[in-house]
Amino acid sequence: MRTLSSASYSQYRGRILVVDQDDWCREFLSQVIKLCGIGEFHLARSAEEASSLLEQLPFDLLITDLNLPQYHQMLEDIRQRFPGMRLIVMIHQRSQMQHVLQLDQVEIVIKPLSLDEMARKIREIFHSKHRLKIEEEILRLKREAFRI
């Protein structure tokens, strides 16, 4: 389990949890996240490590592999405890897509991973989250202005 920061690149504030048993994949994703300029990310090798991190910190995005042992249990737990958390699920075959398409707020990436595709999906998720926060703030300001 590692905690890393890309603060020098930070464009969007947020926290990402990457869960994959493959060392190479976790390292690749850490480099992609740094390039995207997300504030903080954590790496976990297993669903158990992920669960421990989820108990300690709030996350905006979870990136995981459909073939991760205990994936289904982890996903069910996340959906119950953190219904607004966005997910990127990595799959190995298009035939696995059917299971993932039934989930809300999920992006799918097919392995082998493309740096451009993964970076685009991460940026889109944080851009939409940032845009939503701005819209909520504008709405709050309008409500305050009309009360005056």
**Domain ranges in the chain?**
2-147
pLDDT in tens, the chain (148 residues): 655 544 433 455 789 999 999 999 999 999 999 998 887 999 999 999 999 999 999 999 999 998 898 988 998 899 899 988 999 999 887 766 766 766 677 888 888 888 899 999 999 998 887 777 788 888 888 888 887 5
**At the topology level of CATH, where does 2-147 sit?**
Rossmann fold (3.40.50)
- Helix (H) or strand (E) holding 16, with range, is strand 12-19
pLDDT the model gives residue 8: 39
Residue type, position 89, single letter = V
Q: What is the pTM of this model?
A: 0.80
The DSSP bridge pattern shows strands 2-5 and 38-44 to be antiparallel
